[in-house]
Amino acid sequence: MSPAYADNLGRGRDVSERVMPGLEAALAARYDAWLPGFSEWQIGTVYGGVYGRDGADLKTRQIATVAALAVLGDAVRPQMKIHVKAALDLGISPREICEIVMQMALYGGFPAAINALNATLEVFEAEGLEP
């Protein structure tokens, strides 16, 4: 038994509550009846096992995730919107988010980036943000 591995779940809960309040409960309500333990596994794996690690701070990690999702384009549109919201909540500026998404036109192509930019602007509009 590795205490370090087991700690992922507790740390994951701390991090996910901070970045995406209510996420574990939402995952549990939606998926655990069909997939027992899914919500714990995702929180422990993603937020404890990765986001909560040392070596890179949360803002840097959130920028990286926004970049990754922008490259993947509209196939991950719901996640793009959730992570743009999380980026804003962490204090990353709307302008910086836009810049990173635009940059992804170079790596995932213009259509993926434009679609991701549209998802981003929808979040800004829902948050009442203006340029």
* Site for a copy of itself, rule CB under 8 A: 1-2, 4-6, 8-10, 30-31, 33-35, 37-38, 40-42, 44-46, 49-51, 53, 55-56, 60-61, 63-79, 94-96, 98-100, 102-112, 114-115, 117, 121, 124, 131
d(CA 112, CA 2): 41
- Residue among 81 and 89 whose Cβ is closer to a copy of itself: 81
* 7 touches 69 (CB < 8 A): no
Q: Are 48 and 3 in contact (CB under 8 A)?
A: no
Q: Which is nearer to a copy of itself, 21 or 109 (CB)?
A: 109
For residue 56, the SS3 value is coil
Asked if residues 66 and 87 have their Cβ atoms less than 8 Å apart, the reply is: yes
Q: Which is nearer to a copy of itself, 1 or 21 (CB)?
A: 1
Give the nearer residue to a copy of itself in terms of CB position, either 19 or 44.
44
**What three-state secondary structure class fits 104?**
coil
d(CA 15, CA 5): 16
Q: Least separation, in Å, of the C-beta of 13 and a copy of itself?
A: 10
Cβ at position 123, least distance to a copy of itself in Å: 12
- Closest approach, Cβ 106 to a copy of itself, in A, equals 5
